[in-house]
A and B are shown apart, each in its own frame.
Chain A
């Protein structure tokens, strides 16, 4: 599934493809979708996302939408949020969901894992301070439970608490009696989900085309 195409690829696809790792076909398909979502404009805004009907019944749609506008997901040092994104940012966010290719070194695989976990971390850490506090985690659990009838705050709290407790004991282990656990840092997060096989779980099959890119 290489890069045989009927029409020559625009030059910008080349850059994008190198940056994100998608093949030209995939980029073309995603571009079409981008245009569809943005009603042929050049940028996507949040209200475009809220127009997607299927997304409306998703309990974490707010987080998903925010993830697209979060500059931390665009580049390593980004901070803050933007109001509108272009196609390139759209692609970069999408590239977090590419399945791992078979021929990767262990180091590359580790990097991919870190990236994906970073994406998840950013989704949880809404105030950009680098840790997931108890409140933020509680918010996550509440959202997850929000679609299921009555919002049971107490249970959400206790679940979140138990989860934090678990993280604490996994990452910090032995704690002094007067210490308390600030929040989940990215390292703790990595350790927590170490056995989770995130690289295969966090992938969309549709984007699973072998990306042999040939730039002109």
Chain B
């Protein structure tokens, strides 16, 4: 730690404090019986650089019934206290991980977290205490859903559906192959005399195989997110890890039932196949039902915006739990719910709620992931182990082998049906990215307690450690070595969006001409069905007519305006900061924007502020439109925004000419064409196109325009731009959203 500066050093000392507090608190579990006891022992056990118990002193007098000035009652808050302490520890670890830059470049976060878990487990064990283990109930009910919901809600739909066939084949056939191969071969291995495990029968081996075979979404997410691999590979591995849950669930329950029964009949196997379809399709159905319910509910939330995010979370969680009730695949249910709900909910809720949902999901999934890995470490140190060299080594080898064989074999078949074939490099990454994680551990934990279970658990943990540590750490240099295509920087280019849509329609048309009912044809039909029937029910107001291109454009404009706003300070020119952020877009206009003298700015600001206040007095009701208008909000942002827009108009006007056509003169007022986007702005009243009232801010705008050396005759369309751009912020912009936007364009909206 010598190389760290004062900041990290302080951080680390604080962290050790928390760590010791944590171990101290778990120690007191047995010591404390009730209230008003002195808390002497832990304070002697812990270091003396802090005093965990400020409340000692007055408690020791038991004879006199003096009024206790200070009392100590730890048992009362023990459980929440410990939980909070654990979570705090997890988060501090995450923080610490990023403070040390060298570590984060070499070691993926998951490794560090497991390592910390090992440390904490070791410390707790050294104090001869019982550590909290990764209880399966805790894992499956509380820790896993946030991660899956986060993944499902922000799933890139287009990539996912385009590769759906491949993903399904990998998930279903691949996992089946893995399970049976590993199970079968392990049974063969167990027959070896030297292993002394010949008591393990075939069914138990198959059960073990089914547990260890599934690729784990948590581990994949944790590792792949850091290596920024191209979208195709990411969605292949990740999609596989999500969809194989159904297979895992079925196989697990199947073999568990049978290992109690002892024998398997053909009828049972058939029932198993049927069960697979029931589990997966039932899970998806449950998700769809809840998703539709959630979307429908969000239609009516315009009057209580603050609870909107809760609906999303709760409906999704209910979907998960309901699926778990019937032993359906909870993960698929959750994914289906998120996917179905998202386009409609996003059309209905306010921008603030959207940001809230995004941040909360990210936050929860982050915490969950961290906790999972730490607990994994702790459980490793804690759990009863039964180390059997041959068993473990062979498990490891067979896992790798079966994965490689499976991927190569399946790709060979799949490539016959794909347009974009998977190259050898892709196959390697897919095979190498088959990480195992906490799901395998938890499933193993659920087994009935016997000696075999401990052996299995040991092997599972070893495989998990190997995949997370070795594969997780080496995948990044390998990706660079093999020069695998990286994730494209998302540009949000309007041209690409236009052409994506154009191509969609073009290809649908060509398919129709060919008379071939292909991929595009069905997609188009689904979109049309969605538009005519579904959207009417699930999207509030008139918004359901809004085509995707427009919403994309709105989002883009808003994002850019927000970025401009964020980066520019009051006095700085927008162009300069915009240059930093969007060099590709704003490089040209930089030199054309003149400086506005500060006094002028102040004047303009005063005028606009006056208008804003006037408007604020007029409007009382809290509606979606006026989230913008909250007089308590920072109104500096308001006219900064307007100023940006004016700048943007001016820039646009330089490049776009409609030769000789000057239909739009500044005096023409266009009607607000999207009624729901009607921004009841500072100057406006209810009436659309209230021309007279709008004149107030006009002087400031036109005066700004006049200021520029480029005269206004070059701007045929500034007013219409202004108006159209004015529509954008209606979906509110109080907080600067995150710059990287993972939303893929949904193919449901069109």
Contact = CB atoms under 8 A, between A and B. Distances in A.
Given A157-B717, A172-B588, A181-B655, A193 B495 contact: yes
Interface string B509-534: 11111111011110000001001000
Contact of A177 (B498, B556, B654): B654
Name the residue in B584, B592, B654, B658 with the highest tally of chain A Cβ atoms < 10 Å from its Cβ: B654
B656 A159 contact: no
Interface in B485-505: 488, 491, 493-496, 498-503, 505
Given A33-B515, A36-B515, A165 B652 contact: yes
Contacts of B528: 57
Nearest to A30: B514
A154 interface: yes
Nearest to B516: A206
Contacts of A111: none
Contacts of B502: 60, 120, 140, 144
Given A148-B547, A158-B720, A159-B553, A202 B495 contact: no
Contact of A161 (B498, B547, B717, B727): B717
A207 B591 CA distance: 50
Interface stretch (A4-12, A17-25, A77-85, A94-102): A94-102
A163 B518 contact: no
B547 A206 contact: no
A168 B509 contact: no
B723 interface: yes
Given A60-B502, A201-B503, A208-B419, A166 B545 contact: no
B585 A152 contact: no
Residue among A165, A174, A203, A207 with most chain B CB within 10 A: A165
A164 to B, nearest CB: 6
B527 to A, nearest CB: 10
B652 A54 contact: no
Nearest to A117: B499
Contact of B673 (A152, A167, A206, A207): A152
B592 A177 contact: yes
Nearest to B560: A162
Interface in B633-680: 651-652, 654-658, 670, 673-674
Contacts of A166: 493-495, 585
Interface string B586-600: 111101100000000
A76 interface: no
A64 interface: yes
Contacts of B724: 154-155, 157-158
A164 B655 contact: yes
B721 interface: yes
Contact of B509 (A58, A99, A192, A193): A58
A60 B499 CA distance: 12
A143 to B, nearest CB: 9
Interface in A19-54: 30, 33, 36-37, 49, 52, 54
A150 B495 CA distance: 22
B707 interface: no
A119 B511 CA distance: 16
Given A94-B514, A174-B587, A204-B516, A148 B652 contact: no
B498 A165 contact: no
Contacts, number: 181
B505 A59 contact: yes
A164 B550 CA distance: 16
User: Which of B531, B651, B658 has the most CB atoms of chain A within a 10 A radius of its CB?
Assistant: B658
Contact of A180 (B519, B586, B657, B717): B657
A151 to B, nearest CB: 9
A97 B507 CA distance: 8
Contact of A195 (B488, B494, B500, B510): B488
B545 A150 contact: yes
Contacts of A97: 507, 510
Interface in A171-216: 172-175, 177, 180-181, 192-193, 195-196, 200-208
A61 interface: yes
B506 interface: yes
A106 B654 CA distance: 39
A49 B513 contact: yes
A163 B498 contact: yes
B508 interface: yes
Contacts of B507: 97, 202, 204
B419 A200 contact: yes
Q: Size band of the B side of the interface?
A: 35 or more
Contacts of A154: 670, 673, 720, 723-724
Contacts of A195: 488, 491, 496
B723 A55 contact: no
Interface in B662-721: 670, 673-674, 710, 717, 720-721
A144 B518 contact: no
A169 interface: yes
B509 A161 contact: no
B158 to A, nearest CB: 11
Interface in A74-123: 94, 97, 99, 102, 120, 123
A111 B584 CA distance: 27
Contacts of A33: 513-515
B618 to A, nearest CB: 26
Q: Which of A60, A159, A173, A208 is packed against the most chain B CB atoms within 10 Å? A: A159
Q: In this complex, which of A30, A59, A172, A203 has the most chain B Cβ atoms within 10 angstroms of its Cβ?
A: A59
A204 B584 contact: no
Contacts of B654: 175, 177, 180
Contact of B553 (A155, A167, A173, A207): A155
Interface in B703-750: 710, 717, 720-721, 723-725, 727, 750
B420 interface: yes
Contact of A155 (B508, B550, B585, B658): B550
A61 B725 contact: no
A206 B518 contact: yes
Contacts of B553: 155, 158-159, 162
A191 to B, nearest CB: 11
Contacts of A36: 515
A60 B727 CA distance: 27
B130 interface: no
Given A154-B720, A170-B584, A174-B587, A144 B419 contact: no
B419 A99 contact: yes
B606 interface: no
Contacts of B585: 165-166, 169
B502 to A, nearest CB: 6
Given A163-B494, A174-B587, A145 B655 contact: no
Given A54-B512, A145-B549, A168 B655 contact: yes
A167 B585 CA distance: 9
B514 A64 contact: no
A173 B503 contact: no
Nearest to A167: B495
B78 interface: no
B510 A173 contact: no
Which 7 residue pairs spanning A and B have beta carbons closest together? A148-B547, A149-B545, A54-B512, A64-B509, A206-B516, A158-B724, A99-B419
25 contacts: A33-B513, A49-B513, A55-B512, A64-B506, A97-B510, A120-B506, A134-B657, A144-B505, A148-B531, A148-B547, A155-B674, A162-B494, A165-B655, A167-B495, A168-B655, A169-B584, A169-B586, A177-B654, A180-B656, A181-B655, A181-B657, A204-B514, A205-B419, A206-B518, A208-B419
Given A144-B501, A147-B547, 15 more contacts: A37-B513, A60-B505, A61-B509, A102-B421, A141-B498, A144-B547, A152-B550, A158-B553, A159-B550, A165-B655, A172-B588, A175-B588, A175-B655, A177-B710, A181-B656
Interface of B: 419-421, 488, 491, 493-496, 498-503, 505-516, 518-521, 528, 531, 545-547, 549-550, 553, 556-557, 584-589, 591-592, 651-652, 654-658, 670, 673-674, 710, 717, 720-721, 723-725, 727, 750
